[in-house]
Amino acid sequence: MDIKIKPMGEYQTNCYIVSVDEKDFIIDPGVDAMPWIKENAKNPVVILNTHGHFDHVWSNNEVSREFGLKIYCPKDDAFMLDKDPYGFGMTPSTADILVDGDEEFDFDGTVVKYHFFPGHTPGCSAIEIDGNLFTGDFIFKGTIGRVDFPFSSPTNMKESIKKVLSWDKDINIFPGHGENTTLKNEVHSLNNWLNYL
């Protein structure tokens, strides 16, 4: 397994190319992600969105059309892809597969698990591939995603934190912004946020 990371755009949103058995999974193609993806993805098979915020889905349309890829997006965030609710001029895209909560998909022997962690957005999710968790804007190193945006919910975020803290395993975390970490390293921070929310 190989994980390539490139921060994209003004918000330095991490775009990931996760390569497993000669298949390239594109996670959160943000602003101007296309040139980097074309250069680094030999066999792209799908676009996976952790949530619907513009800085994570900006290049969905372009990348999907270029490679003929389907877009997987949490169903509760799909409206953000084609409505551009924040008005930044993003090219609309349409989710081909609406991921409903915790769902698992098999791509020719490679299992992709969506874990539903709403709060930052209604559909906010983390994507697990081969023992690595791509958390979008749910968990960052030392903190969590903001819950003061339109469509955010502090109550849902609190429940999501409880859910991930109930896991009886450690796992590598690759967030939507900033450096990677592990679930074990974030337990203290997550517990602090539980008390704050």
Q: What ranges in the chain are assigned the alpha helix state H?
A: 34-40, 54-57, 60-67, 79-83, 154-165, 183-196
Beta strands in 9-57 (DSSP E): 13-20, 23-27, 44-48
pLDDT tens by residue, 81-139: 988 767 778 899 999 999 999 999 999 999 999 999 999 999 999 999 999 999 999 99
pLDDT tens by residue, 21-35: 999 999 999 999 999
Matching residue, tokens 């896991």: 167
Domains defined along the chain, listed by start: 2-196 (3.60.15.10)
CA–CA separation, 107 and 101 (whole Å):
19
Query: Residue 153 — pLDDT band, cuts 50, 70, 90?
Result: very high
Write down the pLDDT at residue 83.
80
Residue 51's Cβ-count burial label (10 Å; 0-12, 13-18, 19+) is buried
- Report the predicted TM-score, pTM, of the whole model to 2 decimal places: 0.97
Three-state DSSP class for residue 78: coil
